[in-house]
Amino acid sequence: MKVPESDFIKPIAPEDGHYAGNVYLLTSGKTFSAAASFAWTFAECNIGTIIGEETGGMSVCYGDKLWYHLSVSDLECGISFKRFWYLNADEDYSWSNARYSGTGLHGS
């Protein structure tokens, strides 16, 4: 399926308020979930400079749970049914990778 050019979103021009300065992202060991995924993508796409500590979580994770009620024990439980990989990640890739870990400045 081809998307018509009229449906493209045109970039904002400098005279219309496009920001062309430096971009920084602050992270810590308490940065998890979608925020950690955002930080990973920020780094992989060289959007700007990451300042802070290694984020929490793994580059391959599970999400989107199905919830069940166990009638005998009256407990609720959830089972993940989707697996997510961060951009350019593989099975053994984690935030401990030197490109993204440690305290200090990272990125472009």
pLDDT tens-digit map of 20-56: 899 999 988 888 888 888 888 898 889 999 998 888 7
Whether 71 is in a domain gets the answer: yes
Task: Tell me how far apart the alpha carbons of residues 12 and 5 are, in angstroms, rounded to a whole number.
Answer: 16
Structure letter (DSSP) for residue 94? B
Is 61 part of any domain?
Answer: yes
pLDDT, residue 76, reads 95
Domain for residue 42, yes or no? yes
Token code pair at residue 28: 């810590």
In a domain, 106, yes or no: no
Residue 29 placed within a domain:
yes
Among 37-41, 72-76, 85-89, 92-96, top mean pLDDT goes to 72-76
Q: Is 31:40 a contact under the CB 8 Å cutoff?
A: no
Number of domains in the chain: 1
Query: Whats the size of the chain, residue-wise?
Result: 108
Q: What is the pTM of this model?
A: 0.59
Q: Which domain holds residue 76?
A: 24-98
Band of residue 108 on the pLDDT scale cut at 50, 70, 90: very low
DSSP characters for 24-58?
A: EEEE-TT--HHHHHHHHHHHHTT-SEEEE-PPSSB
User: Does residue 103 register a pLDDT over 50?
Assistant: no
Q: Does any domain span residue 34?
A: yes
- Judge whether 88 lies within some domain: yes
Token pair 């300065």: residue: 21
Q: Mean per-residue pLDDT for 74-103?
A: 70
Band of pLDDT at residue 75, cut at 50, 70 and 90 = very high
Residue 91 · residue 66 · CB < 8 Å:
no
pLDDT score, position 98: 38
Q: Does residue 19 lie in a domain region?
A: no
User: What is the rounded distance in angstroms from the CA atom of residue 44 to the CA atom of residue 64?
Assistant: 24
For the stretch 90-99, pLDDT in tens is 766 554 443 4
